[in-house]
Amino acid sequence: MTREIAVRRLGPADIAAMRALNAIYGDAFEDRETYRADHPDDDWLTRQLGMQAIILLIAEQGEAIVGGLTAYNLPKLEAARSEIYLYDLAVDARHRRHGIATALIGELQHIAAETGAWAVFVQADHGDDSAVALYTKLGVREDVMHFDLPPRPRGRGDESGTSP
């Protein structure tokens, strides 16, 4: 018989749980270097876990963390509202296809309603058919383009016309 899954939001005292979630992310995204256990340090995690704009949810089965998500509450300036960006979502491979991702997203939707956010949005990569199917089941698809713009120090070929 499968044990009940509990979803909860992490807070400043949940450093070990955050490190366990990072390990799940590293395995799920096949990027263990980025999500390795030895960084960031405890002080950094404590500060981040205490920010209301950062939403970290985990799914637990008994004492084991079996999945989680990271989301960011983004205040808007064109209206008195915010939207929530679901940045990372992963479930341990041994626990997939049991409604855990849907439960995590459901809790995020409750938090969105409680905080007055008008939408939760998420990106999926082409070829990630499982994610696309999940998000299609739960929301409306928009085809958009994504661009990564690198940081650029001032004074090095700054063509923007905004240099001091």
Rounded CA-CA distance 8/141 in Å is 27
pLDDT, one tens digit per residue, over 44-73 is 999 999 999 999 999 999 999 999 999 999
pLDDT, one tens digit per residue, over 136-153 is 778 887 777 777 788 889
pLDDT, one tens digit per residue, over 97-140 is 999 999 999 999 999 999 999 999 988 878 777 878 778 778 88
Cis amide leading into 164 (omega within 30): no
% pLDDT > 90, the chain: 57
What pTM does this model have? Answer: 0.82
Inter-residue contact 74 to 115 (CB < 8 Å)? no
> What domains are there in the chain, each with its CATH number?
5-138 (3.40.630.30)
Q: Which has the minimum average pLDDT: 7-21, 30-44, 117-131?
A: 30-44
